[in-house]
Chain A
Amino acid sequence: MPTDLLAALSGLPSTSVLIALIVASSLLVITADWRLLNLILGAQYLLIGVFLIVVGIEEFPVELAIVKALVGTMIVPVLYITARRARWGKPPDEDETEVVETPRPRLAWLRSPSPSALLRTGLALRAIVAVIGAAIALSLALRSPIAITTSQTSSRDISIATFVLIGQGLLNIALNENPLKAGLGLLTVMAGFEMFYTVIEPTLLVVALLGLVNLVIALALSFLITAWATRPREVTAR
């Protein structure tokens, strides 16, 4: 069964997996919902594992790709449980304050932006930033692909994945003060770097230690998210 699964995965076109990876890392920048973010992070780690299998690196041990995906899937539950305990990022006193919805005049949107309009603006802004970030990373990778494997196509694909993941991760760190979003950015940067580094240094000890680093970062983020969740209301969520 595992051999069948690996054979099926190996048959996937690497370009499709690469596109899915770029979309996932961009969605981590765009999305603000903590539940969705956890889901996308999990998908991103699985895609990294699959990508390392399908990209066609010569003599690359498949086990390392599986370890990468496994470490990622161990991080996601840690962050999910923490985010749930932190009430998905809501300030502690939000439920206590009763919001009374009053009917708005039809042309009210002309006078001042509503909270939902502001949210949409934020979403649009993040989407534009994510697309620009991905485009810059893509062009950088295509202009100067790192020659890490003998195959030019593999080197190009790995360079693109590395640059995009690092770029989107850095964007997430720069755009956010909240520990979950910034932390996901940090984990994405690490994932992007590891994709490149695992190919040039495929030793089990290094891979294991990199996995441990990721797990300890997740633990630290878990503590910081829990502490951040106790913030007073005036501290904004994004």
Chain B
Amino acid sequence: MNGPLILIAVPTAAAILTLILRPLRQIGVFIAVAALLVTAVWMLQAPLDEPQVILGRTIALAGGDRLGIALLYVITAAILVSARLASPSWPYDPFALFVLSALSAALIYRPPLNEVYPTFVYSALFIAIASALCAVTLHSERPGGTSGALRFLVFSTLALPVLLLADWTLGQLSQSPDTPELIQRTIGLIALGFALLLAVFPFHSWAPGIAGEAPPPSTAIVLTVLFGAVWILLLDALYGNRLIATDPNVPELLKAAGLIMTASGGLLAWAQHDFGRLLGYAALVDTGAILFAVGIRSDAGLAAAFMLVTGRVAGIGLMSVGLATARARATDSSFAALRGLLWKLPWAALAIIAGGLSLSGMPPLAGFPGRWGLAQQAAAIDPRAAAILLGAGASVAVGALRGLREMLQPFDENDTPISRERLREIILIAVAVTLCLAFGLFPGLLAPIARTFVVAFQ
């Protein structure tokens, strides 16, 4: 079997295995996680960059994509493990693995159409399949709550025609490259397609929606794994295509979109009354910051983007674990429902607050190094941009602290008694908090991977 095909086949086989072993889910998930981790290590060393023919087209897996897929494997494995421990009733392990399989295909199957650019027709199609599979897992735990999931399905599906059109105009552009109108149209279509996929303002309404109502592991899959794959595709489109790479408007467009997104998320984050929705707005702020970092178009900007993505994964992961633990016992994740949580479920409260503060970029948590590095670079370009980035982070922190105030309230003795966290949940949260602190205190731990990432996209 071709090397790249193994990267698609492993998660597919793992998904089928977890489906077959449904009565013995723990064993099925354990085997799937082990397979993902082994394949992630293997793919970093295997000679996958040699051109191979798949379905009649020549494919070569570039260094950045390979590292990206390996990270997606590791993140998916971490989500599956934490879902087993914190949300044992979450039934979507096979779907998560099918999503990973589709995303791997999206990043792998990009045959070069000509010497100017690799086509992303198949990537867009596989991303659409992955998005629709994600939508299956996103409906609310409350009866009838489907609005966030439906909006997600609509926006992510509408991105497909836009990206296919962009690819078509790129094809025309390679035949007549000196047509400014065509260049602008192509860039506009690519920007619109990725804006729909990444919940960029004004297409952002689904992100707080799903974060507020969907099961936390499902939200984590969308905001980390799916977004991760889309980020890699965006970087490939920006750096792998001469026509886009040399256009002076693209960095400005990215920075403007990033700032608008950060500002809009920051304006609303502090006023939220639900930790789930706060997570959604924090993710929007973070996405805006990453867009701005990519728009700087420098090695330092790319390194900051990588650190931001890592911080995002740690923050969203930690907050999701806390929310899953709390939601298993409370009615929902609103501040009112979680009043007095600190006294009843201290570990879950710790995870929610630490995750929220990490997403806001507060020291000494995982979100801090990326946000600080970006703020320094933004200040050198435009101090107002740095102020917006820092202000939006502060808004997320205010939202988290408002929630903490409710959690600190004494709980009513007449409330329905709830069970304390189980040992496995405490261990999971302790490990996640330790990792979040370690990445914040010692960002050098990630430096070798960040360097590889930057070199891959230079």
Contacts and interface: CB of A to CB of B under 8 A. Distances in A.
Interface of A: 173, 177, 179, 182-183, 186, 189-190, 193, 197, 200-201, 205-206, 209-210, 212-213, 216-217, 219-221, 223-224, 227-232, 235
B394 interface: no
Contacts of A213: 125, 128-129, 132, 157, 160
B93 to A, nearest CB: 16
B144 interface: yes
B129 A216 contact: yes
A224 B150 contact: yes
B164 A224 contact: no
Which 10 residue pairs are nearest across A and B when measured between Cβ atoms? Answer: A231-B144, A227-B139, A193-B161, A220-B135, A216-B132, A230-B143, A209-B125, A220-B132, A228-B146, A224-B146
B125 A210 contact: yes
20 contacts: A179-B146, A183-B153, A186-B153, A189-B158, A190-B160, A197-B161, A197-B164, A201-B164, A201-B168, A209-B122, A209-B125, A212-B125, A213-B128, A213-B157, A220-B136, A224-B139, A224-B153, A227-B144, A228-B146, A229-B144
Interface in B124-149: 125-126, 128-129, 132-133, 135-136, 139-140, 143-147, 149
A186 B154 contact: yes
Given A190-B157, A209-B125, 8 more contacts: A179-B150, A213-B125, A216-B128, A220-B132, A224-B139, A227-B143, A227-B149, A232-B143
Contacts of A179: 146, 150
Nearest to A182: B150
Nearest to A223: B136
- The A interface is mostly helix, strand or loop, or mixed, namely helix
Q: Determine chain B's interface SS by DSSP, over half rule.
A: helix
A9 to B, nearest CB: 27
B92 to A, nearest CB: 10
A227 B145 contact: yes
B136 A231 contact: no
B154 A173 contact: yes
B153 A217 contact: yes
A205 B109 CA distance: 12
Nearest to A92: B143
Contact of B144 (A189, A210, A235): A235
B55 interface: yes
Interface of B: 55, 121-122, 125-126, 128-129, 132-133, 135-136, 139-140, 143-147, 149-150, 153-154, 157-158, 160-161, 164, 168
A201 B121 contact: yes
A230 B133 CA distance: 21
A183 B125 CA distance: 18
A223 B132 CA distance: 11
Nearest to A174: B154
B129 A227 contact: no
Contacts of A223: 135-136, 139
A206 B161 contact: no
Given A216-B132, A223-B136, A230 B153 contact: no
Contacts of A210: 125
Contacts of B164: 193, 197, 201
B150 A189 contact: no
Contacts of A182: 150, 154
Contacts, number: 90
A200 B145 CA distance: 39
Contacts of B160: 190, 193, 213
A173 B126 CA distance: 23
A232 B144 contact: yes
B64 to A, nearest CB: 24
A212 B168 contact: no
Scoring A183, A193, A220 by chain B CB atoms within 10 A of each residue's CB, the highest score goes to A220
A219 B136 CA distance: 8
B132 A190 contact: no
Given A186-B153, A224-B146, A227-B139, A200 B132 contact: no
A220 B218 CA distance: 14
A183 B135 CA distance: 12
B125 A228 contact: no
B133 A220 contact: yes
Given A186-B157, A227-B145, A232-B144, A219 B139 contact: no
Nearest to A173: B154
A190 B136 contact: no
A232 B142 CA distance: 10
A193 B128 CA distance: 14
Given A182-B154, A186-B153, A220-B136, A227 B128 contact: no
Contact of B129 (A193, A197, A212): A212
Contacts of A217: 132, 153, 157
B364 to A, nearest CB: 40
B147 A177 contact: yes
A106 B61 CA distance: 76
Contacts of A193: 160-161, 164
A78 B129 CA distance: 17
Nearest to A187: B157
B134 to A, nearest CB: 8
Contacts of A200: 168
Contacts of B147: 177
Nearest to B147: A177
A177 B161 CA distance: 22
A230 B135 CA distance: 17
Contacts of B150: 177, 179, 182-183, 224
A219 B132 contact: yes
Contacts of A205: 55, 122
